[in-house]
Structure 1
Amino acid sequence: MSSDTGSENGPDLAQGVPLESFGTTGLLAGHVGDDTVMIARVGDEFLAVDAACTHYHGPLSEGLIVGDTVRCPWHHACFNLRTGEAVRAPALSPVSCWSTAIRGDKVFVLHKLAPAAGSVSVPAGAPQKIVIVGAGAAGFAAAERLRRLGYAGSLTMLSDDDAAPVDRPNLSKDYLAGGAPEEWVWLRDDAFYADQRIDLRLKANAVRLDIAAREVELADGSRVPYDRLLLATGAEAIRLPIPGMDLPHVYTLRSLADSRAIIARAASARRVVVIGASFIGLEVAASLRTRGLEVHVVAPERRPMERVLGPEMGDFVRQLHEEHGVVFHLENTVDAIDVQRVSLKAGGSVEADLVVAGVGVRPRLTLAEQAGLAINRGVVVDACLQTSVPGIFAAGDIARWPDPHSGADIRVEHWVVAQRQGQTAAMNLIGGHEKFDAVPFFWSQHYDVPINYVGHAESWDELLIEGSIAARDCVLRYKRAGRVIAAASIYRDVDSLRAEVEMERDSP
């Protein structure tokens, strides 16, 4: 930032900025009074919106313009620069738009505009009753978008959880580390569901689908009728079949209740053993190290995350955690757990008064299987996320969809993918034909190091590394048959966004 801007918040955009201020990015942040605002140059137009992403307040001016949208550098949320609409998750709320004017050789931001009216009209034949089974990322995003689209029919969300929808990534990151208060984890407050006429039913365990009658049967024997149905039952944490897994100091992490319980136990614990060097396992390790616990990680692989990120990034992740005091026991597994220690297959044991198993999840397919939906290591859906039974859709961790970028049918367990699938399903539940073609994206946080990942590479035959992994300034491109199918990055946010756009444009 230049020294002549007159404010630590950038230039006063109400006083105008020279047209030549816009560099190659076409983005410039500043302020109007106490509001932080960003101007985006789109062709010969200058469009102004709030400067902060509504997800985690990422700086949109450091993002990427694509058409008449801007993408957030942190977690790839996308906003329409003309309407402010949150076009893609993980952002769900819009940014405000501001009017602009060109006077001489300067562009001025004038005033905040009223929110734009919705541009989508709900078809006349839209269903009267929509039921969503599940209140995780996909289920909530579907319900939220349905109301944003203008759907006015009956909308019911059935959740077997006792808590309203939460921002699950926070449960293993900032909230678990003690850096985020609990009020931050709620996707919306209680008033939202009443205001939007969303019938959110907690502790409502769906046990059977009656496809002929178009009803969902609950554990208490009651039935909920539907015209269209979205299955978003998500996944459940795997519990290892080893002695001691049911002891009270042994946890998995999937829900807010799980995270609360781990935090409560951590208050009096001294040493934790994390079973598994997965993303969630190592995020738990980082969070509990931040809380001051001694942390040991037991995992069967040679390097953490090597299967997903490759050996070079795996070595970096291990070194990063070791620099923060984590002790690894790799190429090893846990044989048994007792009240004071875990026994290792390779011999010996590690004392522990807290154990967290982060060894993966399995999709919750029981409802779909019992209803006779097509299953293939997930619920089989078409490009519009409809299952083998017309009128029933599936989204999130359970859905296996035809991915246009890899050319394969895939199922992934990423928060942003689930949200975006929920948004696509919402459109199709009311009669749309929107294909799900988003490039998969996720992020992982380890202390002060974020790792962003776009695409999907179950295997690759070439790995290109740009920059320096050790210097935490890099982008890795995973290629198969000459095509980039995934990219991972550390502090190369715009490169990550560009990789996403390139993959969108390079479908086979």
Structure 2
Amino acid sequence: MQDFRYLILGGGMAADSAARGIRELDADGSIAIISNDVDEPYTRPALSKKLWTDPSFTEDDNYLSTVTDTGAQLWLSTEVTDVDAEAKTLTTSAERFGFEKLLFVTGGTPKTIDLEAGERVVYFRSFDGYRHLREFSGRDLNVAVIGGGFIGTELAAALVQNETKTTLLFDDETLCGSVFPPDLADAFHRLYQDRGVHLVSGTTVPGGRAEGEHVALDYGDGTHEFDAVVVGLGIDPSIDLAEGAGIATDDGITVDASLQTSHPDIYAAGDVAQYPDRILGRQRVEHVDNATHMGAAAGRIMAGSGETYTHTPYFYTNVFDFGYQAVGTVSSELQTVEDWQKPQAEGTVYYLDDDDRVKGVLLVNLDGGLDTARTILAEDWPHSRDDLVNRLPEGD
């Protein structure tokens, strides 16, 4: 059995940030990172953004140099079979590890439909999935993207900008209609149409099957054939090992403000962690800003900082010439107050509950304003339109 002061279970961006957080306070403590990925830690957002749109940014540029920068020992393609919280051990198919502090950054696994992954079917999540999908781009092939959320819309934009005939299938009647107010959703929908993406709205794809050199999808009025299919429907948090160890879970691994689980010396961070946000209440956030900030905080906390996690993360997307940043809950089921400098092109959307309290802020093609957005979200009182118009952008 190999013993480590810090053991990090998972190999994504939160793992990289945690190792760096540890090194801020502990220059010598041994760190092991156990990952079931085939790649060392890398930047995940680039898999659906920059690697498709910036020719100067290569696959090698996307790695994070975690081992070189922190001295952590890294195990790849390694499946953990058991975590014993009492004995402070972790078991893989090949060996056992002992730890003083353990951090779960296990992320999640892609949600699936009745369609088997294979040569022409990609459930998008990893660097390996990016490389797989790249094989079908730039060849004027017909590729279907299933899912109208972050990953689906980003992949559809990436593919169509790389000489790929792209069909985007989603269940909203208008693209992002469940997120944006109607006029903004209409503009976003037209943007994709104008860029050549074939949109199939109001559609749920229950499944399909690979048939030789094509994939048949069942939806709408029958069966439709594509050269390849990529599915981006979000993730389910990877909590099985935590549950097996008797650690409390609830749509993720439950942690306190110090990112500690229900068991002493065991922590969780990133996509898998359900944490008490100081402004928004209990959250589980699947975005890079949370992964990096929370991972770094977890590393420092394990190394003895005594801090709590106080960052309220934002999320963002960039597709074509459209980009936004958001904090809190953005849903068309909430009331909205819109404040446009350029209608549907540059401005702010506020999302309010039935008591007129701001629950989310969307910044469309604006620089700055996130700190002010957080301030507004923390104002626990009813807001009128006059209270909100012209408050953003302001600050950093």
Shorter-normalised TM range? 0.7 to 0.9
1:154 to 30, 35, 53: 30
Q: 2:273 corresponds to which residue?
A: 399
Q: 2:303 corresponds to which residue?
A: 430
The amino acid that maps onto 1:319 is R
Between the aligned partners of 1:271 and 1:178, the Cα distance in structure 2 is: 23
Structure with max Cα Rg: 1
Answer whether contact 2:277 2:310 (CA < 8 A) is retained: yes
Q: 1:238 corresponds to which residue?
A: 111
- Name which of structure 1's ranges 380-389 and 264-273 shifts more when overlaid on structure 2: 264-273
The amino acid that maps onto 1:231 is F
Percent of aligned pairs with the same residue? Answer: 28
Between the aligned partners of 1:186 and 1:490, the Cα distance in structure 2 is: 29
CA displacement 1:446-495 (0-9 Å, x = unmatched): 11221111223567642111115655111111122333222112222223
1:133 to 9, 16, 19: 9
Post-superposition offset of 1:196: 2.8
Would the alpha carbon gap of residues 327 and 175 (structure 1) be closer, same or farther in structure 2, given more than 3 Å must change?
same
Alignment of 1:78-157 (within 5 A): 129-157=5-33
Post-superposition offset of 1:135: 1.4
Would the alpha carbon gap of residues 215 and 507 (structure 1) be closer, same or farther in structure 2, given more than 3 Å must change?
farther
Would the alpha carbon gap of residues 196 and 488 (structure 1) be closer, same or farther in structure 2, given more than 3 Å must change?
same
- Name which of structure 1's ranges 309-318 and 447-456 shifts more when overlaid on structure 2: 309-318
**Structure 2 unmatched ranges of 5 or more:** 382-396
Q: 1:253 corresponds to which residue?
A: 124
Is 1:369 equivalent to 2:243 in the alignment? Answer: yes
Q: 2:194 corresponds to which residue?
A: 323
Q: 2:263 corresponds to which residue?
A: 389
Would the alpha carbon gap of residues 386 and 284 (structure 1) be closer, same or farther in structure 2, given more than 3 Å must change?
same
**Structure 1 unmatched ranges of 5 or more:** 1-126
Q: 2:159 corresponds to which residue?
A: 288
Answer whether contact 1:233 1:364 (CA < 8 A) is retained: yes
Length-normalised TM-score, structure 2: 0.88
Answer whether contact 2:137 2:163 (CA < 8 A) is retained: no
The amino acid that maps onto 1:454 is V
Q: 2:143 corresponds to which residue?
A: 272
Post-superposition offset of 1:177: 4.1
Query: Counterpart of 1:413 in 2: which secondary structure?
Result: coil
Post-superposition offset of 1:128: 6.9
Is 1:209 equivalent to 2:83 in the alignment? Answer: yes
Post-superposition offset of 1:145: 1.6
Answer whether contact 1:309 1:488 (CA < 8 A) is retained: no
Is 1:218 equivalent to 2:95 in the alignment? Answer: no
Would the alpha carbon gap of residues 443 and 157 (structure 1) be closer, same or farther in structure 2, given more than 3 Å must change?
same
Answer whether contact 2:324 2:366 (CA < 8 A) is retained: no
Answer whether contact 1:129 1:228 (CA < 8 A) is retained: yes
Answer whether contact 2:239 2:272 (CA < 8 A) is retained: yes
Between the aligned partners of 2:356 and 2:105, the Cα distance in structure 1 is: 35
Q: 2:174 corresponds to which residue?
A: 303
Q: 2:230 corresponds to which residue?
A: 356
Is 1:488 equivalent to 2:362 in the alignment? Answer: yes
Between the aligned partners of 1:500 and 1:312, the Cα distance in structure 2 is: 25
CA displacement 1:18-46 (0-9 Å, x = unmatched): xxxxxxxxxxxxxxxxxxxxxxxxxxxxx
Runs of 4+ in structure 1 deviating by more than 6 angstroms, as ranges, are none
Would the alpha carbon gap of residues 262 and 430 (structure 1) be closer, same or farther in structure 2, given more than 3 Å must change?
same
Post-superposition offset of 1:278: 1.1
RMSD between superposed Cα atoms in Å:
2.2
Answer whether contact 2:24 2:300 (CA < 8 A) is retained: no
Between the aligned partners of 2:226 and 2:379, the Cα distance in structure 1 is: 49
Answer whether contact 1:178 1:291 (CA < 8 A) is retained: no
Is 1:182 equivalent to 2:55 in the alignment? Answer: no
Answer whether contact 1:404 1:507 (CA < 8 A) is retained: no
Would the alpha carbon gap of residues 135 and 500 (structure 1) be closer, same or farther in structure 2, given more than 3 Å must change?
same
- Name which of structure 1's ranges 450-459 and 390-399 shifts more when overlaid on structure 2: 450-459
Between the aligned partners of 1:197 and 1:137, the Cα distance in structure 2 is: 16
Between the aligned partners of 1:325 and 1:398, the Cα distance in structure 2 is: 36
Post-superposition offset of 1:310: 3.9
Between the aligned partners of 1:433 and 1:330, the Cα distance in structure 2 is: 49
Say how many residue pairs are matched.
374
2:351 to 459, 462, 478: 478
Between the aligned partners of 1:246 and 1:386, the Cα distance in structure 2 is: 35
Q: 2:394 corresponds to which residue?
A: none
Between the aligned partners of 1:246 and 1:269, the Cα distance in structure 2 is: 22
Would the alpha carbon gap of residues 445 and 176 (structure 1) be closer, same or farther in structure 2, given more than 3 Å must change?
same
Length-normalised TM-score, structure 1: 0.69
Answer whether contact 2:120 2:210 (CA < 8 A) is retained: no
Between the aligned partners of 2:278 and 2:210, the Cα distance in structure 1 is: 48
Would the alpha carbon gap of residues 310 and 390 (structure 1) be closer, same or farther in structure 2, given more than 3 Å must change?
farther
